[in-house]
Amino acid sequence: MIKEVLFAYHNETIKFDNHRFKSWEHCYKFFKEIHHDLDKPKVVEHACLHLAFYLASWGMLRNSFLLQRDYLIHKEFIEHVVKKEKYRSFFDGTVLNYNNQQDQELLNQLISDTRAVYQPLMHETKEEESTHLEITDTLTSKILLGVYGVVPAYDRFFREAARLHGVSGQFNQRSFNQLQTFYDQHQEEFSSFIEETSTDDLTYTPMKTIDMYFWKVAEILSVKKDIPMIERLIHFSSEFRVKESVRPLNIKNSSSSSNRTEDIRAVITEILLAEKAAGEKTGDICARDIHLAMNLKNSYPSVCGAMSSLKLFSYEIIHAPPSGKSSTVTYRYDLT
């Protein structure tokens, strides 16, 4: 499943020579090749240009302070972050393990240093606005993906697909740990894809493949053309989500369907409240998750009834197969 999705993304990238997805490749390869020469002003300027164009082609100028500045705004980041010796190992093929405390600290310091550089630059551009402006997680993660390949880009598509798999959409350690678990569980497919697509001048990093996978999943779901593929993705994501996110809860046997629906609704509410407490803004529930986690049998009508009658949170139906109420019916609840 994972390799199939990854190759769908990869094949789109190589469909023609100047695909916008290649902007990441150009940026990542440039920094990897020239990081030892960043003491040369012309190289720094060239690096700024690569980073700026990559961010532009990935939609990061829209409604952004970057739109008001030229490409040299990234010079501070290169001078004060990329040149730091402790981050040079990323260019030599070092792979972070998000579950390793030392790697966690290094990544969190990199994120903090990146934000610290861009924060005052944003205030210079938007000086007439509030002093409480923050550099977005989307911008921070896209910069670090383009330069180091160490985190996926936490944009809307990525967050939606991550949540579908039970992975936090927040740019934080909880999400990183869940992504590491997902990668480790499917390492054979990810590693095989990386090996098969590796060339002399480019090898995808693990977190780049994570980014590719989740982005493509979200695109497939948003286009809604390939219904069989969507059904397979819902089933696949549910398998991971059931194992990693939904606790196996049992409900008491009841001859009354209304009581059973109420029990199911209580479990869904408990799950969503836990997600809200963890900082999530939305929560995805698939009928199959609840059915399996609660050890139900032939109870999909009750599960779907509970999902649709939840009063605490509003929702949208993100997948409803033509067959009607089935195992892959998926709701997204607004937890704000």
User: Contact, 154 vs 73, CB < 8 A?
Assistant: no
pLDDT of 209 over the 80 cut: yes
Q: In sequence order, what are the beta bridge partners of 285?
A: 331
Q: What is the mean pLDDT of the chain?
A: 84
Say yes or no to pLDDT of 99 above 90.
Answer: no
81 secondary structure, DSSP code: I
55 plus 142 within the same structural domain: yes
**Residue 58: inside a domain, yes or no?**
yes
pLDDT tens sequence across 100-123: 888 899 999 999 999 999 988 876
**Residues 219 and 252 occupy one common structural domain:** no
198 and 73, same structural domain?
yes
Most confidently modeled of 2-16, 239-253, 289-303?
2-16
Q: How far is CA 242 from CA 221, 248, 293, 304, in A?
A: 20, 8, 7, 17
Average pLDDT over residues 58-86: 87
Residue 324 DSSP symbol: -
Range of the domain at 56: 2-223
In the sheet with 330-334, reading across from the earlier edge strand, the strands are: 282-286, 330-334, 315-319
Q: What is the pTM of this model?
A: 0.78
Which residue did the predictor score with more confidence, 228 or 205? 205
Token readout for 59 is: 């939609």
Number of domains forming the structure of the chain: 2
How confident is the model over 238-262, as pLDDT tens digits? Answer: 777 655 554 444 444 444 444 678 8
Q: Per-residue pLDDT for 158 more than 60?
A: yes
- On whether the CB atoms of residues 118 and 86 are closer than 8 A, the answer is no
String of DSSP letters for 189-257: HHHHHHHHH--SS----HHHHHHHHHHHHHHHHHH---HHHHHHHHHHHHHHHHHHTS--------S-H
- Altogether, the residues listed in the chain come to a count of 336
List, for residues 265-295, the tens digit of each pLDDT value.
888 888 888 878 877 888 888 888 788 778 8
Question: Would 241 be classed as within a structural domain?
Answer: no
DSSP 314: -
243 falls within a domain: no
Indicate whether 162 belongs to any domain.
yes
Predicted confidence at residue 253, as pLDDT, reads 45
Looking at per-residue pLDDT, the higher value among 216 and 318 belongs to 216
* 3-state SS, one letter per residue, for 128-160: CCCCCCCCCHHHHHHHHHHHCCCCCCCCHHHHH
CA angle 4, 8, 11 (to 5 degrees): 130
Q: Which amino acid is at 336?
A: T
What pLDDT score was predicted for residue 242?
Answer: 53
192 occurs within a structural domain: yes
Q: Check residue 281 and give its pLDDT.
A: 82
Q: How many other CB atoms are there within 10 angstroms of residue 226's CB atom?
A: 13
